[in-house]
Amino acid sequence: MNINSEKKNDILTILNKAANILGFNKYSVGLNLGGHKGDGFIGELYKATITNEESKKKVDVVVKKAPIEPSRRDETCVASAFSNEIFFYSKILPALQKLQQDHQVDTIFNSVPTYVCSSSEIIKEMLVLKDLTKRGFQMREKDLVLDEEHVNFIFQTYGRFHALLFCLKDQKPEEYYSLTKSLHNVLAEFGSKKGFPYSLHKIVEKSLAALNSDEDSQVREKFRKYAKNTTEMYLNAIEYKGKYSTILHGDCWSNNIMFKYKNSKIEEICLLDFQMAWVGTPVYDLSYFFYSGGCKELFDKLEDFLDVHYNSFSRFVKELGSVPEDLLARSALSEDWKVYSKFGMFMALLLTQVKLMSREDSAEISDSIDGNVDGSSKFMNANINNELFNKRVKDILIHMYENGAL
């Protein structure tokens, strides 16, 4: 049996499982094998339609499948990443749903895809989720920066998401800590691999070179230490030593957020991809999406956006029956930003390169990882708009410097 036939059989197997879970006795499956690896390199996506032949009801789903190539699985920590995502949907999300049901909240937090089923079998890890595009959700073009409307909505959504997790920790501590023990720190695992530290170091060097004017000299001198000890400083940045920790989304860039619009205004957003779910300060989630998606004009309104997050957090915490100030101090967000937003900075520098790459270049780099070739060099040499890269990373680094976080 060739690889494509085996892949198709594996996907059909989990789609049969999905049909049974959906309660379909007689059904047909339409599978589109024209999947893509995407820009994250940690999964392949395939679309399918499951049709109930009795009621003619159709359910459109997305199958997220782990790659099988050994070098790619190792370099991108595939086993840990899929374990996290399956655990989030099968264990953490039900706990959050029950917490909301217990408190009979008015507006349920459901800003995540609908989970159908999964497979944890090694090499054959897969998830089946309902297709959000059929509900009108769409992604923004990855190379676009976010505007104020999008940033406000995302901060509000993360406020509710973080509120749920903090309340679970507050009201059901044994259950919460039991859940945290099953999460892998994929972001730390990356630091022990070959490709990620190499790419991170090279992108830091490239970002340092972008600070090339006399007016950038103070920022450049402050940032120079990151080029000397890149991996060590990255690992230090993700070691949270504060007291306001919770389970986080983890991988918060724009390709992992989908939007639904009504009359050109945002109606809903949905958070995707929980492969890097971990425990730490909310600043990790917020700084990651903010620096990887914003611009200097928005960065300068940071405290206003943190207020948006905290007000959303507080309202939902009260509705869930806890006291906001006991779970997370507003001042802690600003204080933790000065220390731990370095993680968001590191990821944003990498993602700025990714966001300016073509899909073709992304696919080629993914194939290089498959072939056990150093895809990191191809990543750094990708054909992008370097003038735009320089502007965006300067925006990030200058704000970090001005905010006392660099």
pLDDT tens digit string along 222-257?
999 999 999 999 999 999 999 999 999 999 998 999
The model's pLDDT over 110-134, given as tens digits with 9 standing for 90+, comes to 999 999 999 999 999 999 999 999 9
pLDDT at 370: 46
- For residues 370 and 42, is the Cβ–Cβ distance under 8 A? no
Least confident of 90-99, 210-219, 341-350: 210-219
What pLDDT is recorded for position 103? 97
Place 379 in a pLDDT band, splitting at 50, 70 and 90: confident
* Residue 38 pLDDT class (50, 70, 90 cuts): low
Print the domain residue range for 257. Answer: 3-402
Percent pLDDT > 90 in the chain is 83
d(CA 177, CA 76): 26
Q: How confident is the model at residue 19 (pLDDT cuts 50, 70, 90)?
A: very high
pLDDT tens profile 265-313: 999 999 999 999 999 999 999 999 999 999 999 999 999 999 999 999 9
Q: What is the pLDDT of residue 6?
A: 87
pLDDT of 94 > 80? The answer is yes
- On the question of pLDDT at 25 being above 60, the answer is yes
- In sequence order, the 6+-apart residues with CB closer than 8 A to the CB of 250 are 84, 186, 187, 274, 275, 276, 277, 278, 284, 285
* Residue 372 pLDDT greater than 50, yes or no: no
- Mean pLDDT over 54-70 rounds to 95
pTM here?
0.94
Residue type (1 letter), 136:
G
The CA distances from residue 188 to 11, 243, 273, in Å, are 30, 20, 17
Residue 378: per-residue pLDDT: 77
Write out the two tokens for 184.
Answer: 């892998």
pLDDT at position 7: 87
* Tokens representing residue 298 in the block: 């928005």
The DSSP secondary-structure symbol of 254 reads: G
Q: What is the pLDDT of residue 32?
A: 86
State the total domains in the chain. 1
Provide the percentage of residues in the chain whose pLDDT is more than 70: 93
* Residue 405 CB contacts under 8 Å (≥ 6 apart), including other chains: 337, 338, 339, 341, 342, 345
Average pLDDT over residues 144-165: 97
Cα–Cα distances in angstroms (integers) from residue 97 to residues 116, 257, 260, 261, 357, in the given order: 15, 20, 22, 25, 38
pLDDT above 90: residue 80? yes
Across the chain, mean pLDDT equals: 93
Whole-number Å distance between alpha carbons of 255 and 272: 8
Q: Is the model's pLDDT at 373 over the cut of 70?
A: no
Task: Find the mean pLDDT for residues 137-164.
Answer: 95
Element (H, E) at 72: helix 70-75
Q: What is the pLDDT of residue 364?
A: 60
Residue 219: pLDDT above 80? Answer: yes
